[in-house]
Amino acid sequence: MASIMTNASALTALQSLNSTNKNLETTQARISTGFRVAEASDNAAYWSIATTMRSDNKALGTVQDALGLGASKVDTAYTGMNKAIETVNEIKVKLVAATGATDADKAKIDTEIKALQAQAKAYAEAASFSGTNMLSVSNASGAAADVKVVSAFNRDASGSASISTIDVKVEDIKLYDGGAAPTKKGILDADRVGATGAVTGTAQSPTAGDDPAAGDTYSVASLSVAGHSDGQIGEMLMVVESALKEMNTAATNLGAAKNRIDLQKTFTQSLMDSIDRGIGQLVDADMNKESTRLQALQVQQQLGIQALSIANGNAQGILSLFR
């Protein structure tokens, strides 16, 4: 039936053209933004997941920065510890040289030992980074606080977020502690029993020149060979040996912490890259697909316009029926 009131062909062509134009706008938006899901209205679930993961990735970026700062702190302490170990080894050498020496020679050696003690203290005090010093501390009482390095940002299955840390126990590696009792002293300024080298809380100063007495104590930071007997120097050597063992253990702990931080930095960067890839798979547009689709839609748009033009021209044909 030919009608001038209702042009069904034109209505059909118009609906098809509108649909094509809408799809064309969507494709052009994807090409211009690079996103298949740019807003929540595009795909609410994917948009929500991607938004959360982007937020978590920003947090991981901060974790990466914190790991870098922590690595610098630990590396500084590790360097200071190694230099202090070298210095204490020199003190041990001087003690060996003092054994059997004359009083005059012991006085000279004692001057060298005091210089080495001051140097070890200087190394410990200088091993500070961003206000953190693990080797030379001063606690009013109790144990030295652990140094905590933020190592991970975690999100469990329920969506709850948490932070993990790598803890460095300063109490086990400190060389000096200027705090008052009952604060535990550091490895080098602690009083040690001469006979065993064990740390003790009860100091007992030896009588210079006498044979070693039970309970005599020495500190690596303040021992002196001037005027002391060979037996007492032997006990000093025991004290230094014990301190060196503890320092080597402390250096091992610092080295392990440094290695763990480095591994965590590498893992965090890989994790961030993996999350970026996952987000991309959810929301990024496939440009190859979209460019092909754009060309097809542009052809459809042109054909739709042509079809609408033909449909609108059909009404003109009705006039010929009345001629």
DSSP for 45-97 reads HHHHHHHHHHHHHHHHHHHHHHHHHHHHHHHHHHHHHHHHHHHHHHHHHHHHH
C-alpha dihedral sign at 57, 61, 62, 63: positive
Q: Where are the domains of the chain?
A: 7-34+286-318, 59-284
Name beta bridge partners: 167: 148
Kind of pairing between the strands at 128-129 and 132-133: antiparallel
The two tokens of residue 4 are 């001038």
pLDDT at residue 13, rounded to an integer: 77
Q: Along the chain (323 residues), what's the average pLDDT of each consecutive run of 10 residues?
A: 64 82 82 84 88 91 93 95 96 95 94 96 94 87 85 87 92 89 86 93 90 93 93 95 96 94 94 91 84 84 81 68 62
pLDDT at residue 238, rounded to an integer: 96
pLDDT at residue 322, rounded to an integer: 64
CATH topology classification for 59-284: f41 fragment of flagellin, N-terminal domain (1.20.1330)
Q: Which of 203, 208, 202 is nearest to 232 (CA)?
A: 208
CB-based contact 150:127 (threshold 8 Å): no
Angle, in degrees to the nearest 10, between helices 287-319 and 8-33: 160
pLDDT at residue 162, rounded to an integer: 92
CB-based contact 266:144 (threshold 8 Å): no
pLDDT at residue 218, rounded to an integer: 95
pLDDT at residue 5, rounded to an integer: 59
- Model pTM? 0.79
Task: Report the alpha-carbon distance of residue 262 to residue 67 in Å, rounded.
Answer: 8
